[in-house]
Structure 1
Amino acid sequence: MTNAGAEAELQEDGTVSDLVDDEAPATTEEEPTGPRAEWYVVHSYSGKENKVKKNLEHRAESMNMTDRILQIVVPTETEIEIKEGIRREVERQVFPGYILIEMIMDEDSWYVVRNTPGVTSFVGMGNKPSPLSQAEVNHIMSRIESDEPRVKVSFDVGERVRIIEGPFAEFTGVVDTLEPEKGKARVMVSFFNRETPVEVDFLQLERDT
């Protein structure tokens, strides 16, 4: 014998089994519905990216679209370059002529962005803007948020260079391979009359003039 809403019942073997109240609603976790924000790429005039970014921000604000146009980013990174033996850090654009926008895409938000002065087109197939994949977004963001400056590659494979630092300083050789992501090059130098591969940082090299 049980009461309404009882949670246990004595069985013949003396064990207790749980009862489920048939009237209790089952709880399920609902997935969020509605459009979600994604990252898109727009093309602008090269060299005018920051001005176009300001135009976009102003348009989103003045047309009450800040709930659908969320972030506008001109991707930049710090780069180390060496000129005439002098090392300096410069900020350069990762994708000249392009701007990233995190937005909820619909007719209104598309219209606001597309008709902003300086925006020439969305990147996509035909007239349909294509959102970036999450992997692409992660790669770009990790690159522009990195604290490690990149080293500008100022020479090519097959070019003759001089090593200016490290154990092989003053050796000359020919660039065999370049690894921009690591900031390193493999240079073939003549060592004891034999061609020997040496791995060095870009910052340890200069053109052999």
Structure 2
Amino acid sequence: MQAAACVGAFWYVVRSKPHKEAWAQLQLQIKRLEVFYPKLMLPDYAKRRQPVVPLFPGYLFVRLALPDRYHDVIWAPGVQGFVGSKNGPIPVDDDAVELLRRRAAADGVIQAQPKLRPGQRVEVVEGPFAGLVGIIQRPPDTKGRIKVLMQLLNRAVAVDIPLGAINAEWTPIHIG
């Protein structure tokens, strides 16, 4: 096994059973393993809730020394196995995991914000302006509203629209 020669602890990617990431995380933590399960909180201003979704669905990061703790992981409920090659699990770069951990809160949740910039075209998907396309005039404010320039009644009108009512891409924000 390629990783068997490692003396210290390294980060590895573990595949969980479908929709069992949190269960696998709990089972590995019970075995006193360091586990990182990154999640992404997507703002949904229109519905006043913030859904949390896995950043990497079906995968967790586990820090351990192989081969000593190998069986603790593969026999844990909710775990399907390690991600690696035919020679065994492959360690993940510590810097990559630490970057994610710095961006996440203590519970592993990373806040997301819209990838929006002035001049970008957006489509309104909810509310009285649904189906119309406009141009962002000002970035989102602290209340989750964005100013969009729209063509209404043959003239340009600036309208404040909730972020949840426009079609946009979501990306993790940089913290620290």
With normalisation by structure 1, the TM-score equals 0.51
1:92 and 2:53 are equivalent in the alignment:
yes
Percentage identity across paired residues of the two chains: 24
For 1:49-198, list aligned pairs within 5 A. 49-58=21-30, 60=31, 66=32, 69=33, 71-82=34-45, 85-106=46-67, 108-145=68-105, 149-151=111-113, 160-161=123-124, 172-173=132-133, 190=151
Contact preservation (8 Å) 1:52, 1:119? yes
* Change in CA separation of 1:149 and 1:57 when aligned onto 2, cut-off 3 Å: closer
Please report the RMSD computed on the Cα atoms of aligned residues, expressed in angstroms. Answer: 4.4
More relative contact order, 1 or 2 (CA 8 Å, 6+ apart): 2
Unaligned 5+ runs, structure 1: 1-33, 61-65, 177-184
Which 5+ residue runs of structure 2 have no aligned equivalent?
1-5, 137-145, 168-176
TM-score normalised by structure 2 residue count: 0.59
Flag the structure with larger Rg. 1
Other-structure match for 2:140: none
CA distance in 2, matches of 1:206, 1:116: 42
Is the Cα contact below 8 Å between 1:77 and 1:143 reproduced in 2? no
Report how many residues are paired.
Answer: 146
CA contact (8 A) 2:135 2:150 kept: no
